Amino acid sequence: MSLEQDQEQVSVGSADGANVTAVKPASTPVAATDPALAVGLSPNSPLPAGTNVIGALSANQSINVAQVAGAAPSLSNPLPVELSDGTNLLGTSGHPVRTDPTGTTNQPVSGTVTANQGTPNSLANAWPTEITDGTTGPVAVKPASTATVATDKAFVVGLSPNSNQVQGVAAEGAALSGSPVRIGGSDATDIRTFATDANGVIINAPLSYAIAIGRLTGSAGRIAGDTTIAVTNTETPVRNTVYTAQTSNAQRSINSTSGADTSAGTGARTVLITYYSISAGVVTGPFTETVTLNGNTAVNTVSTTVAFIESVDVLTGGVGNIPTGTLQVFSAAAGGGSVFASIPAQARRTAYCHHYVASLRKCYITDLMTSSTAASAQVPNFHVRSLDLSTTNAVERRVMDNIIQQGDADSMFWSHVTPIVVQGPALITGYVTTTNSVSQVNAMEFGYFEV
């Protein structure tokens, strides 16, 4: 080092004076060719305190990332990384990260994706599911009003051997219970129940038997009537008194021509009226009502819908239990209108050989029996007709041709292998035609069942 005291300049350099440290004004930057003074920190010197940054890293320099902000990197102390496409910072709403960076195309997804639809707000908004075995299907699903066709794919089902049997368990002869197997015709309206004996054999018996034992809902009975005629070639309904069929519902009334027919009298006391009602061409019934007699004073029926009289029977009475006078049924209340049905004095019931069939019911006539007091040469003819009660101005039609009674007080019986069927609503009436003018009593009755 040389020191020239005669100048205000001091140069620091090597002993040979070849390398003199450059000294520049504060505003002049250093250059790579400027000689520099080599200095270094003593290993005994402590690191300076503070957070001052000395210089900056260049492209060819590196940094030790073993520590970030004084701590080692971890999940809770990560190194921040920003993605760029060279122009834009990625991962923003304007520049999302895309697997396929071309335009707005759908992005490919691989692996298992789980999606939850949530609760649909309607059946139409639900996710449809089709049922198939992978080869056949899908199973057809149709609205309730749409009939299936042979090409519809369908479930193949079968009853499990562990399933309960389809049966109607009941004691023999008892009413139906449980779920009995039933069959019907092609119109699916006349549904019937199988009846079997204790061994499970189907009972091949008339429907009237099934009705009688409570296996089938319906009715069965016999209708009998008689009439006294003394006029030749007269066709007469087989009834013991005049019956005038009414055409509408009303409250009726009944009295007796004798004061002995009363609640405590010696004659008839109470009677049972069996009747039918009609409304808009629909006939319903039979219904019954018990009326207590009050002698000559007419007693009103409780019902105001009495249209047709099937029969009137004496239930209770005094001496002999028979009416002393003629019991008369009036077409209106309080004895008003006219008499349209009656029981003769000393008789216990109306002997009317007729039967009403309600709407939606079928009557099956199974047999017919006739008798006459006429001599063998005086053969009366019997036949049966029916009247459609749902048709205005309908005409009676024959349902059974002439049956000739052999007379001589004999009774004759006819059984029908195939019952004669009459569809309700209808009135079935037996008729007789005499062949001479000799007074004679002709009687007729027929058996039937109805379902």
Lowest mean pLDDT among 124-133, 162-171, 392-401, 419-428: 162-171
Are both 392 and 307 inside the same structural domain? no
Residue 339, domain member (yes or no) = yes
Cα–Cα dist 397/113, whole Å: 80
Quote the pLDDT of residue 345: 93
What's the mean pLDDT in 230-236?
72
Residue range 113-137, pLDDT digits in tens? 887 777 777 777 777 788 888 888 8
402: how many CB neighbours lie within 10 A of its CB? Answer: 11
Which residue range(s) make up the domain with 423? Answer: 221-227+354-450
Q: Quick one: which of 297, 309, 308 has its CA closest to 333? A: 297
Confidence band (pLDDT; 50, 70, 90) for 297?
A: very high
* Alpha-carbon span 425 to 307, nearest angstrom: 13
Q: Name the domain boundary from 343, 373, 405.
A: 343
- Answer whether residue 291 is part of any domain: yes
Statement to judge: residues 338 and 292 lie in one domain:
yes
Which of 214-218, 353-357, 437-441 has the weakest average pLDDT? 214-218
In-domain check, residue 416: yes
Q: Is the domain of 428 the same as that of 364?
A: yes
Amino acid 287: pLDDT: 96
CB 384 within 8 A of CB 400: yes
Spatial neighbors of 313 by CB under 8 A, at least 6 apart, are 271, 272, 274, 348, 349, 350
Average pLDDT, integer, range 338-353: 94
Cβ-defined contacts of 186-194 (< 8 Å, 24+): 192/216, 193/168
The whole-angstrom separation of Cα 226 and Cα 373 is 11
Q: Give the full edge-to-edge strand order of the sheet including 282-292.
A: 282-292, 268-279, 308-317
In this structure, is residue 392 part of a structural domain?
yes
Q: What percent of the chain has pLDDT over 90?
A: 32
Nearest to 430 by CA among 348, 342, 368: 368
For 153, half-sphere exposure in the C-beta direction (CA atoms, 13 angstrom radius) is 12
Reduced to 3 states, what is the DSSP secondary structure of residue 334? helix
* Lowest model confidence (mean pLDDT) among 39-48, 250-259, 360-369: 39-48
* pLDDT confidence bin for 1, thresholds 50/70/90: very low
pLDDT at 2: 46
Confidence of residue 314 (pLDDT cuts 50, 70, 90): very high
More reliable by pLDDT, 29 or 276: 276
- Give a yes or no: residue 323 inside a domain: yes
Q: Could you tell me if 363 and 329 lie in one domain?
A: no
Instruction: Tell me: do 306 and 360 sit in the same domain.
Output: no
**148 in a domain, yes or no?**
no
Buried b (16+ CB within 10 A) or exposed e, 326-352: bbbbbbebebeeebbbbbebebbbbbb
- Give the residue, 217 or 292, on which the prediction is more confident: 292
Which tokens belong to 241?
Answer: 């008194």
Which of these three, 321, 343, 365, is where a domain ends? Answer: 343
CA 18 from chain centre, in angstroms, equals 119
Whether residue 297 is found in the same domain as residue 385: no
Last residue of a domain, one of 343, 364, 399: 343
Which residues is 433 bridged to in the sheet?
235, 381
Q: Are 182 and 194 in contact (CB under 8 A)?
A: yes
Over residues 219-235, the mean pLDDT reads 72
pLDDT confidence of residue 51:
54
Where residue 425 falls among pLDDT bands split at 50, 70, 90?
very high
Question: Residue 378 is part of a domain; what is its CATH number?
Answer: 2.60.120
What is the pTM (predicted TM-score) of this model? Answer: 0.56
In a shared domain, residues 271 and 361: no
Distance CA 451, CA 428 (A): 16
Cα angle 446-448-451, degrees, rounded to a multiple of 5: 160
Indicate the number of domains in the chain.
2
Residue 409 has pLDDT above 80, yes or no: no
- φ/ψ of 431, rounded to 5, equals -125, 155
In a domain, 115, yes or no: no
> Average pLDDT over the chain, rounded to whole?
80
Categorize the per-residue pLDDT at 380 as very low, low, confident or very high, splitting at 50, 70 and 90.
confident
Q: Are residues 252 and 338 in the same domain?
A: yes
What is the predicted pLDDT for the residue at 33?
83
The answer on 366 and 336 residing in a single domain is no
Same domain, 339 and 358: no
The reply to whether 371 and 437 lie within a common domain is: yes
Tokens of 318: 């005094």
Contact present, 411 and 373 (Cβ < 8 Å): no
Mark out the alpha helices in 91-206 (DSSP H runs).
Answer: none
Whether 57 shows a pLDDT value over 70: the answer reads no
What's the pLDDT score for residue 71?
67
| Range 392-399 average pLDDT | 92
* Non-local CB neighbours of 320 within 8 Å, separated by 6+ positions: none
The verdict on 360 and 306 lying in the same domain is: no
pLDDT at 70: 62
Q: Does pLDDT of 352 surpass 70?
A: yes
Residue 321 burial (10 A CB sphere; 0-12, 13-18, 19+): middle
pLDDT (mean) for 28-48: 75
The token pair that represents 415 in the structure block:
């059984």
Q: How far apart are alpha carbons 397 and 388 in whole angstroms? A: 9
Confidence of residue 151 (pLDDT cuts 50, 70, 90): confident
Asked if residue 375 is part of any domain, the answer here is yes
Rounded to whole angstroms, the Cα distance separating 260 from 296 reads: 9
